[in-house]
């Protein structure tokens, strides 16, 4: 398991795969991800405005926006460190992937 210093140092150089989040970002779902973070009411209605090829329903657009957020959180070193401490303190994983 890499240390935090190793993760921080090599992350910018790590070759990225084409992930679900990448596909969602290319489809223009990043603004919807921002709306999720802002806790906007009636996200289903907002999601309907982002329907594109590959994301034909509001549910699929919301799922794509969530993929963007998940990838962003997983690459955030501070969030990763907090989650690491929480799992070590609790003795078990609190996320099921």
> Which tens digits make up the pLDDT trace of 57-76?
999 999 999 999 888 877 77
pTM of the model: 0.67
Spell out where the chain has E strands: none
In sequence order, the β-bridge partners of residue 52 are 55
Average pLDDT over residues 79-93: 70
CA nearest neighbour of 33 among 11, 55, 13 = 55
Tokens of 25: 């970002």
Q: How far apart are alpha carbons 96 and 86 in whole angstroms?
A: 14
pLDDT surpasses 60 at 32: yes
3-state secondary structure of 41: coil
Say what the pLDDT of residue 95 is: 56
Of the candidates 66, 88, 78, the one whose C-alpha atom is nearest the C-alpha of residue 4 is: 78
């Amino acid at each position: 398991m890499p240390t935090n210093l190793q993760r921080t140092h090599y992350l910018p150089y790590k070759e990225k795969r084409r992930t679900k989040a990448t596909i969602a970002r290319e489809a223009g779902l990043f603004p919807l991800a921002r709306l999720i973070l802002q806790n906007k009411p009636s996200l289903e209605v907002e999601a309907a405005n982002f329907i594109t090829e590959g994301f034909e329903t509001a549910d699929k657009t919301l799922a794509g926006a969530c993929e963007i957020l998940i990838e962003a959180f997983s690459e955030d070193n501070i969030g990763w460190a907090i989650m690491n401490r929480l799992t070590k303190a609790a003795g078990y994983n609190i996320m099921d992937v």
